[in-house]
């Protein structure tokens, strides 16, 4: 099951653990997860294997001029109560939607039926070419002339202002949330090692600036369906985007800017009866005070 990604921390930032782990505090729960944004370009990822699935059985049917795709899987991952099993079925549906090559008018996963319109409403448009049997196109390419391609900030105030402008552009101008207010945390000290001072590394005298934006989106589409378009938008702004988490069925997009700057975009669970939120967090390069 996916848990919101929240903050990104650079390898030199305070509290970084083993450089390839991400430490997140979200809704009172400490989460440690691999940071897929560690590399500018994604390593090959097996979407089915990421969900503990080794041999998915995919059967394609022709029904009344439509294409039906049945997916039968089992997983090595532990599944708890009925809610977990329902969430796993949704993840399987998203993986099939994003990686199965061929047309898909109806998807059946564990007895649950997903019409194409339902899949688009839940997960956004399919990657280009899949309906024609082509390989997924991969992540969008960063625009070198994008407004946020370069990270010119050299001190804490400028880094915070740059990240606020970035998140305001995303929230207000792209996602249509008029009252967009980004929140900055206290700057975190940078260290000359990988472990954030835990093993006695020396402080560099520089600081990392972290800014967060928590949004409830307008409109009928759920926030998860907005992620593919948002990934394209981030690339258009000049950020180096990764979308392999989407292919593994998770509601996350990752991006890089500057040398060590990072962004996470994730859909977080909400209280019963409340809409899910879109949580966007950025973490800057190490800069002067």
DSSP string, 80-112: -SHHHHHHHHHHHHHHHHHH--S--SEEEETTE
Domain boundaries along the sequence of the chain: 21-42+140-287, 47-132
The SS3 of residue 183 is: strand
15 compared with 264, residue with greater pLDDT: 264
Region 159-169: what's the mean pLDDT?
96
- Residues 6 or more apart from 82 whose CB is under 8 A from it? none
Q: What is the pLDDT of residue 200?
A: 55
Region 147-165: what's the mean pLDDT?
96
Q: What is the pLDDT of residue 23?
A: 30
36 compared with 245, residue with greater pLDDT: 245
10 compared with 145, residue with greater pLDDT: 145
Q: What is the pLDDT of residue 2?
A: 26
Region 141-168: what's the mean pLDDT?
96
Beta strand 240-242 pairing with 203-215: unpaired
Q: Is the Cα torsion angle 171, 172, 175, 181 positive or negative in sign?
A: positive
Residue 54, pLDDT > 70, answer: yes
Residue-wise pLDDT tens digits, 4-26? 233 343 334 443 333 333 333 23
Region 101-105: what's the mean pLDDT?
97
Tell me how far apart the alpha carbons of residues 118 and 146 are, in angstroms, rounded to a whole number.
33
Q: What is the pLDDT of residue 265?
A: 97
Per the structure block, which two tokens stand in for 168? Answer: 């305001």
Q: What is the DSSP letter of 13?
A: B
Region 179-184: what's the mean pLDDT?
88
Helices (H) and strands (E) in the chain, counts: 6, 13
pTM of the model: 0.81
Residue 204, pLDDT > 80, answer: yes
Region 33-47: what's the mean pLDDT?
57
279 compared with 178, residue with greater pLDDT: 279
Residue-wise pLDDT tens digits, 224-254? 999 999 999 999 999 999 999 999 999 999 9
Residue 63, pLDDT > 90, answer: no
Beta strand 57-63 pairing with 29-34: unpaired
Tell me how far apart the alpha carbons of residues 110 and 92 are, in angstroms, rounded to a whole number.
9
């Amino acid at each position: 099951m996916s848990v919101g990604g929240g903050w990104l921390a650079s390898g030199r930032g305070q509290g970084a653990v083993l450089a390839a782990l991400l430490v997140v505090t979200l809704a009172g729960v400490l989460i440690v997860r691999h940071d897929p944004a560690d590399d500018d370009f994604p390593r090959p990822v097996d979407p089915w294997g990421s969900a503990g699935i080794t041999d998915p059985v995919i059967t394609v049917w022709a029904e009344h001029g439509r294409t039906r795709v049945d997916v039968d899987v089992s997983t090595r991952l532990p599944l708890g109560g009925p809610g977990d099993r329902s969430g796993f079925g949704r993840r399987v549906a998203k993986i099939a939607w994003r990686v199965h090559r061929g047309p898909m008018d109806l998807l059946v996963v564990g007895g649950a039926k997903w019409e194409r319109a339902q899949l688009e409403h839940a997960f956004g448009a399919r990657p280009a070419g899949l309906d024609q049997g082509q390989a997924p196109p991969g992540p969008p390419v960063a625009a070198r002339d994008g407004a946020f391609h370069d990270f010119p900030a050299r001190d804490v105030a400028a880094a915070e202002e740059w990240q606020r402008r970035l998140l305001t552009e995303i929230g207000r101008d792209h996602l249509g949330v008029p009252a967009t207010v980004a929140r900055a945390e206290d700057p975190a000290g940078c260290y000359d090692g990988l472990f954030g001072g835990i093993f006695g590394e020396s402080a560099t005298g520089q600081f990392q600036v972290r800014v967060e934006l928590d949004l409830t989106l307008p409109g009928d589409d759920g926030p998860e369906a907005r992620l593919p378009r948002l990934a394209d938008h981030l690339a258009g702004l000049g950020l180096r985007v990764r979308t392999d988490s989407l292919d593994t069925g998770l509601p996350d997009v990752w991006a890089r800017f500057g040398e060590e700057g990072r962004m996470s975009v994730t859909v977080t669970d909400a209280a019963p009866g409340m809409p899910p939120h879109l949580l966007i967090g950025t973490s800057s390069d190490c800069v002067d005070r």
